[in-house]
Amino acid sequence: MDKRGTRRRTALAGLAAAALVAGAFATTATAGTGEGDGPPHLPRGTGFYVDPDSGAARQAAIWRQEGRTADADLMDAMASHGQAIWFTTAGADQVREGVRRVVRAAKAQDRVPVLVAYFVPYRDCSQWSAGGARSEQEYKEWIDAFAQGIGDEKAVVVVEPDGLALLTSEPWCTIGPDEELVPQRYREINHAVDALKRGKHTRVYLDAGHSAWQALNDYDAGYGEPRQQSGIVNRLLRGGVTRADGFALNTSNYRTTEDLVRYGTRVSKCIHLRTQGATSCPSDAELDAMPVHKPGMTHFVLDTSRNGRGHYTPGPGETDWCNPPGRGLGERPTANTGIPLVDAFLWVKRPGESDGECQGGPPAGRWWPEQALELAKLASPPLR
């Protein structure tokens, strides 16, 4: 059985940037989420770096020249909001310099870059978004260089989409042997947390899949996976989430914000209980009844880049994760979410870039003007 739920993501590349708003990190500020929040989170008013040369910005120029004024206006509106910059390719020196360029450009805008580290070995179980480091040592050197590129400047980093939600021990993942690679994955994610958190102003969020993927608790997987590796809460704890700033949900997916907030809040509450000695999560109803404002409660961020219309119900031969039709942009990137544990809505997946060669799309990560225009036209709330 495929435990992925409706997940998928895209290997993206790029060294140019993303996001509009204003403000920046204050080293001692919190997100205003109640008393006793623990370590600093994203302050209200944080502004995210906007890439002046994004696919949407370039498409707007093309369509304006062709006289497609209304479509160009939509692309300009899309381009005015921050999108994450993904780093996906080999070379410690290259990633150090690439990250440094983005961080400097963001500083010049007095904004904060959102960066994605996506280079873990055997990423995506070597499927559509295959790639990553060839060894644990290569990955550690790469992520160390990534962190050096940030230094003590301001940055938000989403660590390894699928890195914890998609272990090599999944039943359909033929990479192995699991008894070697699963512990290796945890070592790599932990190393990434520690390397990145050396930066004074780096905010680190471990990718945790989405609300229709992994269960909170361990379960009897039935295919030889140790129980302590199955539930997402255990995976986050073993990945070092308590030393990070939190976790990230919905990267490159389409789940609704309401659904994600409910799920993420349950994850956070369960992490709190586990760190207090509980051996498993209580029922959803019991978690929902728990108060949110507890000291040190784990925060999270949401990818709202394409969830304005929610998830897609696929027909025959379709998927709900790979270029589903009729989707729209979701909430704009902001740290002013008004939700206690949600530090920010982010556009982690760059809208308008394909999920892969499915349902008429180009290869993963390629700019797709038709999809970009559909996302803009169906945005909820509407683009302005």
In order along its 384 residues, the chain shows pLDDT tens digits of 233 443 444 333 333 333 322 333 333 233 333 333 434 578 889 999 999 999 999 999 999 999 999 999 999 999 999 999 999 999 999 999 999 999 999 999 999 999 999 999 998 876 667 789 999 999 999 999 999 999 999 999 999 999 999 988 887 777 766 778 999 999 999 999 999 999 999 999 999 999 999 999 976 444 444 544 579 999 999 999 999 999 999 999 999 999 999 999 999 999 999 999 998 899 999 999 999 877 789 999 999 999 999 999 999 888 899 999 999 999 999 999 999 999 999 999 999 999 988 899 998 889 999 999 999 999 999 998
Q: Are 54 and 26 in contact (CB under 8 A)?
A: no
**Residue 168 CA to chain centroid, in angstroms?**
19
Element (H, E) at 344: strand 342-346
Backbone angles phi, psi at 234, to 5 degrees: -60, -40
CA distances to 255, 269, 381 from 328, in Å: 12, 30, 9
Q: What is the pTM of this model?
A: 0.89
Catalytically active residues, by annotation: 124
Instruction: Measure the CA–CA gap between 246 and 230, rounded to whole angstroms.
Output: 19
Q: How is residue 245 written in tokens?
A: 């700033």
CA distances to 26, 30, 83, 133, 193 from 46, in Å: 9, 11, 14, 32, 22
Exposed e or buried b for every residue in 193-202, given b needs 16+ CB within 10 A? bbbbbebebb
